[in-house]
Structure 1
Amino acid sequence: NSDCVLVAGGFGHRGVEGKIEAIKFARENNIPYLGICLGMQLALIEYLRNVVGIKEATSVEFDTNAKEPAIYLIEQFLDTAGVEQVRTTKSAMGGTMRLGSYPFESKPGSNLETAYGAGISSERHRHRYEANPEYKQRLEDAGMIITGESNGLIEVVEIPEHKWFTGVQFHPEFTSSLETPNPIIHEFMKAGKANR
């Protein structure tokens, strides 16, 4: 019995399949779920594999020759100053990360909007890989909705038919404390408490 499940951020392939099984368990048993960074990416992979039916969905972080790269290395993006950044698999890791605070807009009626309110909010990032927008329509057609975007990048995913299932690309723990938890963490804990 679990009140809720959280899969945190991280790097590398160690333990990934076990985390995907935990995500599947939370999804199938209607247990509140929060995926942070890698936890969001693995939620996408789990959903693509087990709901959409794309069994080879994975991340290029785990398989550089992935046939179904649901998570990929974004090679060009605008940094917080609006300057175009370029990165490749050969770039030094520290110089290839999306770092800092980026804005996103909340979709009406979403867990994200409940947490942050309507309009534009921003959160801090520290990651190298992104959700591949090529899979957006297939995810949404199958019931996983993109509820937050930033300059065309997928920031937040949710399953509206689930009790509370949210994955965020950003790191809400960076702006959280015991006295003042980050809004999305606060909503997740409320969902977990309600699930007792």
Structure 2
Amino acid sequence: MSRIAILGEYDPTFEPHIATDRAIAHSSAQLGCEVEAEWISTPDCDRSKLATYAGIWVAPGSPYRAMEKLLDVIRYARENQIPCLGTCGGFQHMILEYARNVLGFQEAQSQENDPYASHLFISKLDCSLAGREMQLTFTKGSQIATIYGSLTAVERYYCNFGVNPDYVPQLKSQSLQITGSDSEGEVRVIELPGHPFFIGTLFVPQARSTVELPHPIVTAFLKTVL
């Protein structure tokens, strides 16, 4: 049996969290395997606890209670080739970790956490995406396009924050790739070439997973974990 850690403050009334557990069950059944998923609150995030986990999912639900610990675990996964999926708030914090530890913006922040920070890589969206479904376009040849088997998709959002357009050139300056965008060209998917699985989505793919149609991103993540 493989084990994955789901990082975030679990709320049994928050639909994206309920959907996360369901999506793992759907994809596990499709793959014909058993995956044990354990929710870990961010104050309990610690590199030393990750040795028994084959993958990490950074769940929606920001702001997190212990952001610095969460960012350290994301860095650990990135640097040690551990499969890592980030959705919604998880996507945002994968951006922040990369900005701090690869691009050198040590004070990179989200406007949700610190509205007066000097480098707001994550800013409030002009129009909230919470509860909306939107069309996406993927980069040809990208890992995300391969996962979907398509260059387009429709996905659901639960967020009010996203990538600050002012910092997109910096994000593109190193190895991280922006491989998914909406109809207005806004960043919606990131991935790291050369890593087994390091993908972040601003949307919440688990929200569209069903027993009959497990979500391809979740299935691809679990397949990599296995």
Q: TM-score scaled by structure 2? A: 0.73
C-alpha deviation, 1:178, in angstroms: 4.7
Structure 2 unaligned segments of length 5 or more: list them.
1-50
Map 1:79-158 → 2, pairs under 5 A = 96-150=128-182, 151-158=184-191
3-state DSSP of counterpart to 1:52: coil
Show the counterpart of 1:59.
110
C-alpha deviation, 1:177, in angstroms: 3.2
- Aligned residue pairs total 174
Give me the CA root mean square deviation: 1.4
The CA distance in 1 between the partners of 2:142 and 2:223, in whole Å, is 15
The CA distance in 1 between the partners of 2:89 and 2:148, in whole Å, is 21
Structure 1 unaligned segments of length 5 or more: list them.
78-95
The CA distance in 1 between the partners of 2:114 and 2:64, in whole Å, is 9
The CA distance in 2 between the partners of 1:122 and 1:182, in whole Å, is 12
Deviates more, 1:25-34 or 1:129-138: 129-138
The CA distance in 2 between the partners of 1:63 and 1:191, in whole Å, is 35
The CA distance in 1 between the partners of 2:209 and 2:70, in whole Å, is 24
Show the counterpart of 2:97.
46
C-alpha deviation, 1:13, in angstroms: 3.9
Show the counterpart of 2:7.
none
Q: TM-score scaled by structure 1? A: 0.84
8 Å Cα contact 1:58/1:71 also seen in 2: yes
1:22 to 2:66 alignment: no
Q: Deviations over 1:127-160 (max 9, x none)?
A: 1101112222212221111000001211100001
Q: Deviations over 1:152-186 (max 9, x none)?
A: 21110000121211000001111113553211111
1:187 to 2:203 alignment: no
The CA distance in 1 between the partners of 2:85 and 2:59, in whole Å, is 8
8 Å Cα contact 1:9/1:39 also seen in 2: yes
